[in-house]
Structure 1
Amino acid sequence: MKTKKYILKGLATCLIAASLSACVDLEPKAMSFLTPENTFVDKAGLETMLRLCRKQMNFEWFGDAFNSSNCETYSVYEYAWSDLAVMGGPETKEIHNMVTQLTPTTNMYLHLRYWVFGWNGIKYANTVITRAPEADGMASEEDRNACLAEGYFHRAYWYYLLTNQFGDVPWIGEEITGAKLDFNTVSRKTILANIKKDMEYAVQWLPKEVIRGAVSRAAGEHLLAKICLATGDFQQAVDATTRCINNYGLRLMTERFGINSDDKSKDVYNDLFQEENISIVENKEGIMIGQEIYGLDGCSSPGGSNRKRNFVPQWHSGSKMKTPDGKNGTTDASGIYDGYEQLEYLGRGLAKIRPTNYAQYSLWSNCGDDMRHNSNNWYDKSQIKYNLPASKGGSAAYFGQPVDPAFCSDTMRCYFSFPIVKVLIDKDDIKAGGKVPVGGFTDQYIFRLAETYLNRAEAYWWLGQNDLATADVNTIRRRVNAPEFSSVTLEDILDERARELFLEDHRKTELTRIAFLKAEKGVDGYSLSNFSEKNWYYDRVMEKNNFFATEYYYSTNAFIMKPYHVLWPVPRNAIESNTQGRINQNYGYDGYEDNIPVEELEKRYNN
């Protein structure tokens, strides 16, 4: 529509001119005479824009991460550059050495996608924020304020991510309707203060009851709490999470429910992530949900989630998975023969994400009967079997037997354990080339009440109320039959987030947020004065991520990270096209030497 093209002027020209239109048509053909002036003037028009805002969040969680013609699952980069994982693909496709490969001109999708989609999300939200006060056809001022409140929500959501991915970035507080080339960087602290104020307004006006996929007041409380954690307003974080937990009819699901409720071999944690269960009314744990239903108009990834492709090991590479008698052991060839069921179950994984030893082993030591690690929800690598029949060149002696890792030449990519409950998506699986399953359609929790409890636990921990922090973590653990803690540390809370929220939270963002907090408070010798040279994020990754810590050599490249990678580089195109202002580059990247102190740039913003 001409509408979309019009409102992309300015911000698209300056901030997202990075030739990254593979996932969004930035220049759609004009189909009508519609413009913002005659489209976003009433409730129906603004609701159209709000639906676009909601869809924007779905792009993070669905799609083929290897195929640039499809939308990638952007959230993989939140995991790959954290304590939990690295990129499993070869360095020709993925970043291993962050020093040489992660630059302001990197042309490998990755973090630049978040830059593009973050600013698009802010742009859509600002259209609503600017036009809601004057829109016609609102039933009441309450209706108008609710519309404005959701606009604030979406803007805050993306700024929360951008400020923990890129740090200081421009603040854009209103709709841009023409070319603009004078953006200036504003401090992360200022931006967080702005979105905190917005969300304090929003939680007064967001509706308590909404259809699945829309933004409720509980979702507003949840996001407000995350922002308060980032600003260090821990008591306010406690207050917001407590309202979210107590005031809106939400509760942790502790009893069996949904499609498999009569299957005694399953469990309630498994119920939570069945594709048919995520959006049902009976499920009281979902706070905000991204909906991706096969055939639903507006799905962010028309080919499905592709999670089998992205998160499952490349177990089917027969030449790397040899049998002890020297035969190729596995295959992804489809057909009706014994062994095909392994392909149907696991899909054709390509190991976009390769979990660390911390994610595979340390997290689960002494886990007892934790149902998140049982066979319903976790796939142990010892379950991978030789599935290439002798008639197809395999071994008759070893067919159907567990793969022997001693004869696997690539255990990095082909042989590892992983959580399956959120990965093996079968529903409406659109098979690659019509042959092999790669991961079907599923709704996605954007916010879930389990995270609210863990957010509150962290806030209590910062406040020194360790007994209350421990109680909240144990509430989560009790539901899954995990042994309870007598007293929790911050590390315990982060471990619990990793166990509970895989593929639901933004792991890198949350680690960076904590790194900023420790630096601001001078905890453990950290300081903002040398944040990109010494920070807790880097130290934790070095402690937990065995690949970066050892500079593990895979293929023709090593996994290398430095302290300045706590923040990602701002795309050079964004800086150079902003000819009348200044967007600063982050420390450690080419262009940093041209920075203007952010205090000076904020004076321009304030004036």
Structure 2
Amino acid sequence: MKFEKKIIPALTIGFFTMLTYSCSKEWLKPQPLSFYEPDIALSDAKGMYSALTACERNMRHEFFGDAPPILTEMIQSDIAVEGTTDKAGPQMDMDIALMPDADLNNNDRTKVGWYWYEGYKGIKYANLIISRIDVAVFKDEQEKNAVLGAAYFQRAYRYFKLVHQFGDVPFIDKEINEPKYDFYSSNRWSILEKLKKDLEFAYQWVPERVDRGRTSKAACGVLLMKVNMALLDFDSAITVGKEIVAMHPLMKNRFTSNKSKPNTNLMFDLHSVEAKLDGANSEGLMYVVSFPGVDGSDRIRTMRNAVPFWNNGGIKTPDGKTGTSIVLAENEQDNSLDLNKNYGRGIGRLRPTWYSTNEIWRKGKEDNDLRGIMNRDSWKTMEDLKYNEPTLKKDGNQWYGKNFVKPVGMSVEDSIRLWFSWPHYKIFVPDPLQTQWEGGETPWYIYRSAEVFLLLAESYYWKNDLGQAAIAMNEVRERAGASKLTAADINIGEILDERARELYYEENRHIELVRIAYTYAKSKKSCEIFGGRTYNLDGISGSGGVNSNIKQEGVNFWYDRVVSKSNFYNKGVKHKWAEYKVSVHHMLWPIPAKAINTNIKGVINQNIGYPGAERNQIPLLLEAEHNEVKAKT
């Protein structure tokens, strides 16, 4: 049976795109679907690695393009909010925007639904390999296990996101060859236990050295660390983390051609296109790839999404004239006035909070931090930009070529979208083939050794070994030029602050906060940054039912952290289209109503706080689920 006929109606849509495999960048090029027959294509290691390309390539879509899904992960956290203030619909008032029957996969609204449907699409691709592993021909057991381990990683990568975004979800562990309408939600903890076993296998068998963009042993190790931490197995997480950083040290010296350029530094090196292409980069553990000039690549558009909308006409000179332009004045020789190529043509879709732009950069501790706002090469403020509108030069206006001055009485809409600081060193990706620079083609980090050190620090925190936690964090801080921390400085807030400094636009910030929220609730550890507050698994999403949009501290850590650090959510910040609001149940996202309603012979649970949760059933344990299937057969 051809794959085009194999569907999972209740969970995912779309067809499988087959890609060729090689040891070069050619693997980005797609093959026509008509050439694909699974029984033939998945008959050996080469075919299976080609199939895995679909998983690896789809990982890229989370970060690339206009309004990529990673923005939703950041907006549903403490570090950023939606900045699009010229229309109704974007995810600002979550009580309205996050509903099961809303358009949950839309550039102008939210990408919550993207994570659901693309998650199960990736699981489908991985299950093709897993289900057919025993009928394919391999040169030896090692080759077979390496392929199987990579498929396990790809499936676990999706499920780890799903159980932290949606909680209890259906677990599918095999290829499905016919329409299926009887899915049931499985217990998230039992899913994590399954992921742990699969990733232990993957970490053992997947090779260390792979082509950029492929699944590596180190990538399997990072995800295994996170699963272990989610299961409160911190000792195992520490063991794996130590092994990874021993093999993959941080890049502590400048190492790209950018080192000869002015206004750059080590952090600019590390996050440049050149660094992500450099085979000597020991810190990068896994990437999604988009190679400049290669067919099948895509533009990341970080500068469109994360740079202020300086060219929308709202930036005025102090004497009221339009101040900015994409096109420079005729014969202009001052390159500092080319805002488009120096900073990118942003639209301010991702609006950072005061917490991420200012609060985490403390005087005395981050004064010399290369990642921070006090380093004028790394971070940019609106006052760094200069008025460049050609008419100003033609008219001899005194403000032409002068630095921006924030207009008095700037509207709320404009101050949200047009006026904020941003980490230029990380967001800047040259876009030479475009007239408007929005962020070009580049590989992008999924995992780095720096995050492993921060995961080690957090694992030690949960074990109350604050001295070792400080040592691990200082590896990252000292490389960046920040001052050292002591055991007395360590708490969960400090750890999250360091993640915000190091991993902006890299980490799934919402997922990490949810993972920590579950850890507090399951461990019953008191939370020192909230006065010793403790949390419980029972009622972690609130009471549900009528009037479930509650805004009550102490229900879950995610809510407490987001509301305490965001200067937008639940602070009365509003513009003509919406007010920024979140409720405790938004820790977990609504499962799309279409997935539930088309599952006519089973029950996919809705999360507490959303309409439909009153029909929930007790989620299955995976072992019980397997026994049930066995009994039927």
Q: Deviation of residue 503 (structure 1)? A: 1.3
Structure 2, unaligned stretches of length 5 or more? 19-29, 106-110, 526-532, 543-554, 629-633
Q: Deviation of residue 232 (structure 1)? A: 0.7
One-letter identity of the residue aligned with 2:79: L
Q: Does the alignment pair 1:63 with 2:61?
A: no
Q: Which residue of 1 aligns with 2:79?
A: 84
Residue deviations 1:374-427, cap 9 Å, x none? 23321122212222133588871212222221334311100100001121111x
Partner Cα separation in structure 1 for residue 176 and residue 145 of structure 2:
21
Q: Deviation of residue 100 (structure 1)? A: 1.0
Partner Cα separation in structure 2 for residue 605 and residue 184 of structure 1:
12
Partner Cα separation in structure 1 for residue 419 and residue 558 of structure 2:
28
Partner Cα separation in structure 1 for residue 214 and residue 190 of structure 2:
28
Change (3 A) 1:342 1:265: closer
* 8 Å contact kept, 1:184–1:601: no
Residue deviations 1:164-185, cap 9 Å, x none? 1111100001111211111110
Q: Deviation of residue 280 (structure 1)? A: 1.2
Q: Which residue of 2 aligns with 1:44?
A: 46
One-letter identity of the residue aligned with 2:73: E
Residue deviations 1:539-588, cap 9 Å, x none? 00000011003031023210110000000000001001111111000111
Q: Which residue of 2 aligns with 1:309?
A: 304
Partner Cα separation in structure 2 for residue 114 and residue 334 of structure 1:
41
One-letter identity of the residue aligned with 2:346: G
Change (3 A) 1:147 1:602: closer
Match of 1:553 among 574, 590, 612: 574
Partner Cα separation in structure 2 for residue 556 and residue 340 of structure 1:
33
Q: Which residue of 2 aligns with 1:106?
A: 102
Q: Which residue of 1 aligns with 2:550?
A: none
One-letter identity of the residue aligned with 1:133: D
One-letter identity of the residue aligned with 1:357: W
Q: Which residue of 2 aligns with 1:369?
A: 368
Q: Deviation of residue 35 (structure 1)? A: 2.5
Q: Deviation of residue 219 (structure 1)? A: 1.4
SS at match of 1:421: helix
- Give matches, 1:102-501, under 5 Å: 102-109=98-105, 110-136=111-137, 138-246=138-246, 248=247, 250-263=248-261, 265-299=263-297, 301=298, 304-318=299-313, 320-333=314-327, 336=330, 338=332, 341-366=338-363, 367-373=366-372, 374-390=375-391, 396-407=397-408, 408-409=410-411, 410-426=414-430, 428-431=431-434, 435-487=435-487, 488-501=490-503
Q: Deviation of residue 317 (structure 1)? A: 2.2
Change (3 A) 1:503 1:24: farther
Q: Which residue of 1 aligns with 2:584?
A: 563
Change (3 A) 1:476 1:128: same
Q: Deviation of residue 336 (structure 1)? A: 4.1
Change (3 A) 1:393 1:415: farther
Q: Identity of paired residues, percent?
A: 35
* 8 Å contact kept, 1:279–1:289: no
Change (3 A) 1:75 1:395: farther
SS at match of 2:274: coil
Partner Cα separation in structure 1 for residue 32 and residue 270 of structure 2:
43
Q: Which residue of 1 aligns with 2:22?
A: none
Q: Deviation of residue 478 (structure 1)? A: 0.6
Q: Does the alignment pair 1:527 with 2:536?
A: yes
Change (3 A) 1:601 1:207: closer
SS at match of 2:275: coil
SS at match of 1:130: helix
Give me the TM-score of the superposition, normalised by structure 2.
0.87
- Give matches, 1:8-19, under 5 Å: 9=7, 11=8, 13-16=9-12
Q: Deviation of residue 324 (structure 1)? A: 1.8
Partner Cα separation in structure 2 for residue 217 and residue 100 of structure 1:
42
Residue deviations 1:172-209, cap 9 Å, x none? 01111211111110011011000011111111111122
Partner Cα separation in structure 2 for residue 474 and residue 591 of structure 1:
47
One-letter identity of the residue aligned with 1:561: V
SS at match of 2:91: coil
* 8 Å contact kept, 1:575–1:582: yes
Q: Which residue of 1 aligns with 2:549?
A: none
Change (3 A) 1:215 1:352: same
Partner Cα separation in structure 2 for residue 559 and residue 5 of structure 1:
43
* 8 Å contact kept, 2:329–2:393: no
Q: Which residue of 2 aligns with 1:68?
A: none
One-letter identity of the residue aligned with 2:91: I
Partner Cα separation in structure 1 for residue 3 and residue 604 of structure 2:
25
Structure 1, unaligned stretches of length 5 or more? 66-72
* 8 Å contact kept, 1:93–1:108: no
* 8 Å contact kept, 1:104–1:590: yes
CA-based RMSD of the aligned residues comes to: 2.3
* 8 Å contact kept, 1:323–1:395: no
Partner Cα separation in structure 2 for residue 216 and residue 600 of structure 1:
30
Change (3 A) 1:149 1:604: closer
Partner Cα separation in structure 1 for residue 576 and residue 267 of structure 2:
37
- Comparing 158-167 with 32-41, greater Cα deviation is found at 32-41
Residue deviations 1:495-533, cap 9 Å, x none? 101100111111000000000111112232211111012
Match of 1:518 among 511, 517, 520: 520
Q: Which residue of 2 aligns with 1:70?
A: none
Q: Deviation of residue 228 (structure 1)? A: 0.6
Residue deviations 1:270-322, cap 9 Å, x none? 111110221312111111111111332333x3xx111111110011122x222
- Comparing 536-545 with 391-400, greater Cα deviation is found at 391-400
Partner Cα separation in structure 2 for residue 381 and residue 216 of structure 1:
40
Change (3 A) 1:378 1:30: closer
* 8 Å contact kept, 1:94–1:108: no
* 8 Å contact kept, 1:6–1:35: no
Change (3 A) 1:517 1:56: same
Q: Does the alignment pair 1:594 with 2:615?
A: yes
SS at match of 2:36: coil
SS at match of 2:398: coil
- Comparing 595-604 with 264-273, greater Cα deviation is found at 595-604
Q: Which residue of 2 aligns with 1:6?
A: 5
SS at match of 1:587: coil
Q: Deviation of residue 332 (structure 1)? A: 3.0
* 8 Å contact kept, 1:543–1:549: no
- Aligned pairs, number: 580
